[in-house]
């Protein structure tokens, strides 16, 4: 219908040349609807169309309209020279990334300090210390707390809703963090993943998650994250069972995991099950990607994207969705998403011949490894100030926590993946709530979301969830 409306819109023209439908615009307001339809009794009179306007050079459309085809626009050929590294890329990217990641962790001062602190203080105490640091930064700029700030902003903008606390809407997304194990150890990772982390979801928890899905008709998406989810043992079970229920599955993929030994058929598995890939690629240059995500990550990411394209991922006609995620290298907000999407598409196509569907920009959350990174560089105060200065009231409605339940590898329930890392679990009267306490997520609508000072990362600029 919209197509027909377009063709008959004043100021638009369309014609059929041969079998190709061409559509464009002209100035003025000539259109099909301005053609006079002559009544039958004018037959034989001098008022036929040809007589009104005998100059109709394109009035020769074939009546075999079933043969008419609408052609998709084709991509222009690359304008820039292709990357010379493409030549032997598949050879260069053979083998596991893990030895390189472990070597980097051993030589990286930040990782060594974190490991020492973790040993001395334990995870819970470190998390409390991190929270205090964020709060000290907010105290300096006179920001009381996240919820009070939100309510003040609403008042300032003339919004008078009665909701004083952030509450959930209907739960549509079931996010499963199925393990912390990862073949990379990125310096901004909010999960503190690495090849040294062995925590993974058990089959018992995974099976219970599937049971919950069966009883929760409001859920349309299972968002599988990690670590590197594909390297966790329950990944294929969860993905396959969710697809059998006709639920969309997202795989939060780091790209390099698909090239690990033993994962040779994972990309094909993703394609066969029509799994939506959301992949991290913080730049289209080797230097920036390797700086943030580790040596060797760029080459493997490019090889993996080429492999996914060869299976049809990222091509509009296949329905195999491949989205990319950009997050800034340091303590600044991401650029405009739409403009960066265009820039990524141009660079990746011109230089590497890579296609993808959509780019998402995300703000770095001031939690865990990135919070440490900022604190050691004395940048945490400025970063919290930046987040508060760029508070965007419009992000609140779309926050991940509004329509998501997030499950950790050990089955504990949270409002989002960030809360998982900060031990802010959804609780019941007797304590922590796990997947074994619920049969469905349907009655979690309207429950109050646990927010804290890290949440300013989700509401700055265009948001982060």
List residues binding ligand SF4 (CB under 6 A).
182, 184-186, 189, 191, 193, 226-228, 254, 293, 399-401, 415-416, 418-419, 449, 451, 454-455, 458, 465
Name the phi and psi angles at 239, rounded to 5.
-60, -45
Task: Report how far residue 93's alpha carbon sits from residue 194's, in angstroms, rounded to the nearest whole number.
Answer: 19
Q: Given the complex with ligand SF4, which of 223 and 415 has the nearer CB atom? A: 415
Question: Under a CB-based contact definition with an 8 Å cutoff, are residues 197 and 228 in contact?
Answer: no
Instruction: Label the pairing between strands 322-326 and 358-361.
Output: parallel
Task: Report how far residue 277's alpha carbon sits from residue 314's, in angstroms, rounded to the nearest whole number.
Answer: 9
Q: Given the complex with ligand SF4, which of 210 and 259 has the nearer CB atom? A: 259
Question: Which of 243, 254, 307 minimizes the C-alpha distance to 282?
Answer: 254
Minimum separation from the CB atom of position 186 to ligand SF4 (A): 3
Q: Given the complex with ligand SF4, which of 252 and 321 has the nearer CB atom? A: 252
Minimum separation from the CB atom of position 252 to ligand SF4 (A): 8
CA angle 294, 300, 418 (to 5 degrees): 55
Q: How many helices (H) and strands (E) does the chain have?
A: 18, 12
In order, the DSSP letters of 21-43 are: EEEEE-SS---GGGSPPPPGGGT
Minimum separation from the CB atom of position 414 to ligand SF4 (A): 8
Q: Given the complex with ligand SF4, which of 226 and 349 has the nearer CB atom? A: 226
Question: Which of 50, 83, 154 minimizes the C-alpha distance to 299?
Answer: 83
**From start to end of 216-273, where are the E strands?**
221-225, 248-253
Tokens 């982060």 found at? 464
Question: Under a CB-based contact definition with an 8 Å cutoff, are residues 132 and 366 in contact?
Answer: no
Q: Given the complex with ligand SF4, which of 208 and 454 has the nearer CB atom? A: 454
Minimum separation from the CB atom of position 230 to ligand SF4 (A): 11
Q: Given the complex with ligand SF4, which of 407 and 449 has the nearer CB atom? A: 449
Minimum separation from the CB atom of position 297 to ligand SF4 (A): 8
Minimum separation from the CB atom of position 6 to ligand SF4 (A): 39
Minimum separation from the CB atom of position 241 to ligand SF4 (A): 23
Question: Which of 384, 453, 367 minimizes the C-alpha distance to 418?
Answer: 367
Minimum separation from the CB atom of position 205 to ligand SF4 (A): 19
Minimum separation from the CB atom of position 91 to ligand SF4 (A): 23
Q: Given the complex with ligand SF4, which of 284 and 414 has the nearer CB atom? A: 414
Tokens of 166: 């952030």
Task: Report how far residue 342's alpha carbon sits from residue 331's, in angstroms, rounded to the nearest whole number.
Answer: 23
Minimum separation from the CB atom of position 87 to ligand SF4 (A): 27
Question: Which of 224, 136, 148, 124 minimizes the C-alpha distance to 451?
Answer: 148
Q: Given the complex with ligand SF4, which of 189 and 213 has the nearer CB atom? A: 189
Task: Report how far residue 26's alpha carbon sits from residue 13's, in angstroms, rounded to the nearest whole number.
Answer: 7
Q: Given the complex with ligand SF4, which of 133 and 293 has the nearer CB atom? A: 293
Q: Given the complex with ligand SF4, which of 154 and 207 has the nearer CB atom? A: 154
| Exposure b/e, 70-93, CB count within 10 A at least 16 = b | eeeeeeeeeeeeeeeeeeeeeeeb
Question: Which of 368, 457, 456, 324 minimizes the C-alpha distance to 189?
Answer: 368
């Amino acid at each position: 219908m919209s197509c027909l409306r377009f063709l008959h819109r004043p100021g638009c023209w369309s014609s059929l040349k041969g079998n190709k439908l061409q559509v464009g615009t002209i100035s003025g307001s000539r259109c099909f609807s301005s053609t006079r339809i002559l009544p039958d009794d004018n037959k034989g009179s001098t008022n036929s169309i040809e007589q009104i306007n005998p100059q109709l050079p394109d009035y020769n459309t074939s009546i075999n309209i079933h043969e008419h085809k609408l052609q998709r626009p084709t991509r222009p050929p690359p304008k820039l020279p292709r990357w010379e590294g493409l030549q032997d890329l598949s050879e260069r990217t053979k083998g596991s990334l893990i030895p390189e990641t472990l070597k980097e962790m051993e030589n990286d001062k930040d990782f060594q300090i974190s490991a020492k602190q973790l040993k001395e203080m334990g995870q819970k105490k470190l998390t409390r210390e991190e929270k205090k640091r964020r709060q000290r930064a907010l105290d300096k700029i006179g920001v009381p707390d996240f919820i009070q700030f939100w309510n003040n902003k609403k008042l300032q903008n003339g919004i008078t809703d009665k909701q004083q606390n952030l509450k959930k809407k209907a739960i549509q997304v079931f996010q499963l963090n199925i393990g912390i194990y990862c073949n990379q150890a990125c310096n901004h990772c909010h999960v503190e993943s690495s090849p040294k982390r062995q925590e993974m979801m058990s089959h018992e928890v995974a099976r219970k998650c599937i049971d919950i899905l069966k009883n929760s008709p409001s859920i349309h998406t299972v968002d599988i994250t990690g670590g590197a989810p594909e390297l966790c043992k329950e990944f294929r079970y969860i993905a396959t069972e969710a697809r059998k229920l006709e639920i969309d599955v997202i795989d939060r993929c780091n790209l390099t995991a698909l090239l690990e030994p033993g994962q040779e058929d994972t990309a094909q598995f993703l394609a066969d099950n029509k799994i939506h890939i959301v992949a991290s690629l913080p730049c289209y240059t080797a230097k920036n990607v390797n700086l943030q995500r580790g040596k060797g990550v760029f080459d493997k990411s490019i090889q993996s994207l080429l492999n996914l394209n060869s299976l049809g991922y990222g091509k509009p006609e296949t329905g195999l969705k491949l989205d990319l995620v950009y997050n800034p290298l340091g303590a600044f907000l991401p650029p405009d998403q739409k403009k960066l999407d265009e820039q990524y598409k141009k660079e990746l196509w011109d230089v590497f011949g890579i296609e993808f569907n959509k780019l998402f920009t995300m703000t770095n959350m001031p939690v865990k490894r990135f919070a440490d990174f900022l604190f050691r560089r004395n940048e945490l105060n400025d970063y919290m100030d930046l987040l508060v200065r760029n508070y965007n009231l419009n992000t609140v409605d779309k926050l991940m926590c509004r329509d998501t339940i997030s499950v950790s590898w050990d089955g504990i329930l949270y409002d989002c993946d960030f809360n998982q890392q900060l031990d802010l679990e959804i609780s019941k009267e007797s304590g922590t709530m796990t997947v074994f306490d619920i049969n469905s997520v349907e009655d979690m609508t309207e429950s109050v979301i646990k927010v804290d000072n890290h949440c300013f990362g989700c509401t700055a600029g265009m948001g982060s969830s």
